[in-house]
Amino acid sequence: MPRLPGTDLTVSDLCLGGNVFGWTADEPTSFALLDRFVDAVPSTQRPFVDTAESYGNGLSEQILGRWMAERGMRDRVVVATKASRGDKEHPLSGPEIRAAAERSLRNLQVDTIDLYYAHYDDETTPLEETLTAFDELVQAGKVRHIAASNYSAKRLTEALETSQRLGTARYVALQPHYNLMERAAYETELRDVAAEHELGVLPYFGLARGFLTGKYRAGEQIDSPRAKGAARYVGEKGDRVLAALAEVAAEQGVSGAAVALRWLRDQPTVTAPIASGRSVDQLADLLPMLDLVLTDDQRRRLTEASA
C-alpha cells in the first residue's frame, strides 16, 4: 500500500495534476477528468491530486473544491496545493504563507490541506520565519504535512536542518522537475538528500511537457500550449528515448506515456509522478501505469536510452 514517507497519507502511484483545471480543461471537463481518475485508482490507494494557488489564479483550486463538495469526495482524496510566488515581494514570509493558506482553504472548501508546499524557494525570507509559519498551520490543524517544490539540494538541506534545530514541522516531500528527458538535476544531488532524509518525491512534468507522449516530433505542428516547451527535447536523445518507449509500450500493450510514468514511479525515492491530461482520452492513456509492471530489462533499456 503506497504511503507518503513520514506521514499517514496513503496515495496513488500517479498524482493527477490540477494545473489544467480552468486552463486547458474547462470545469465540466475537469470534473470528468477527476471522476475518471478516481474510478481508476485501486481501492488500496487514495486518489492523489496536486494543485496550487497560482494555477488559474485560484481557479484550479476552486474547481477541485467544487468537485469534492458536489461528489462528497473530500475524505477519499489526498489534496496537495502550494503557496505560490505570484507577484509577492516575500512569498514565504509568515504573513504571506498564512494568507495563502486561508485562500486555498476557502477555494478548496476544506478544513485541512493534506500536503502544503512552498511552491518556490524564497531566499528573501529567513528559513526560520518560513518554517515557523508552516508549523503554526500544522499545529492549528489547517495543514497536515508540509513540502518543498523547486528547491536546490543545498537549500533543501538547510531547511531540513533548520526544522530539526527549531523543533518545527519539517518538509516530508519534494516536488522536483524529473523525467526521462530531465534526469541530471535530480539524480546528481537532490536524490541523495531525499534518500538521506526519507522524503517522498513527487516529480512534476513527468511526461516532459508532453514530449514523452510521442506526439511532438521534428517538423510536426501540434496545437497545444505546451508545444514550445516540448520542442526543446526534439533531437537525437529525444528520438532515442521515444524509440525505447515505443518498443516497451508495444511489448506491454499500453501507451508510451504510461511506460514513461511507470519508469519514473519505479525510480529510487519516487513516491508518485505528477501528470495531467486536458481530455478524458488523454488521461486514459496514462492510467494503465497504475498497474503496469515493467521488467528489469525494460527499465534498463529506458534508462540507457535516456542517459
d(CA 19, CA 25): 9
- Core vs surface per residue 272-285: b (16+ CB within 10 A) or e: bbbbbbbeeebbeb
- Position 46: which residue type? R
Residue 166 is inside which H or E element, if any? helix 153-166
Question: Which residue has 526519507 as its cell numbers?
Answer: 198
Tell me if residue 55 is catalytic. Answer: yes
Ordered strands of the 171-175 beta sheet: 200-201, 171-175, 143-149, 113-118, 78-83, 48-50, 15-17, 274-275
d(CA 248, CA 295): 10
| Nearest C-alpha neighbor of 212 from the set 264, 271, 142 | 264
Cα-only R_g, the chain: 19
Cα dihedral sign, 248-25-176-273: negative
User: Which one of 55, 151, 171, 178 is the catalytic residue?
Assistant: 55
C-alpha cell at 207: 511526461
What DSSP character marks residue 125? Answer: S
Please list the active-site residues.
55
